[in-house]
Amino acid sequence: MEKIKQFMENDKGKDILVIIIIILVGLGSFELGRLSKNSPNGGLKIEYEGQEANVVGSLEAKNINLSDLSLNSNTLQKSEKSTSGNFFASNRGSKYYSVSCSAGKTIKQENRVYFMTSLEAEKAGYELSGSCK
C-alpha cells in the first residue's frame, strides 16, 4: 500500500491516474451509447381520456396497411401523378431540373412538382437550372 501511495503522490503517478480515468470514462460512454441504441423500445404511449392508446415510434406503429387507411381515389391519383415525369421543380423555387440532374437531389420529395416535358415546366413559369444544361 505504501508503494502505491508514494507512486500516486509524485507527478508521474498523477498523470497516469488521469489518463486511466479518461480512458474509463470514454469506454463507459461508448458502451452506454451502444446499449441505448440496441434497446428494444416499445415506443411512447399517448393516452387521452375516452380514447384508445396510440403507440408512437414502435415497430408495430410503422407497419401500417393501406387497407387500414381511409384514402379516397383522388388522393391516390394525386400521389401517383406527383411522382412521375422526366422533369421536376420545387414548389417554392423558379428552376426546374431533369430527373437525371444531380443539382435537384436536395429538394425534398414532398416539395417536388413533376412535369412530363420541359415545355410543361416552362409554361408553369419555371426555367431550366444552369447546372443541368
C-alpha atoms less than 13 angstroms from C-alpha of 73 in its C-beta half-sphere: 0
Average pLDDT, the chain: 74
**Which residue do the cell numbers 409554361 mark?**
123
Q: Which residues contact 133 (CB under 8 A, 6 or more apart)?
A: none
| CA pair distance 113, 99, nearest whole angstrom | 11
pLDDT of 67-99, one tens digit each?
Answer: 444 444 344 334 334 456 789 999 988 999 988
| CA pair distance 37, 54, nearest whole angstrom | 23
Top-confidence residue, 51 or 92: 92
Top-confidence residue, 37 or 62: 37
pLDDT of residue 50: 67
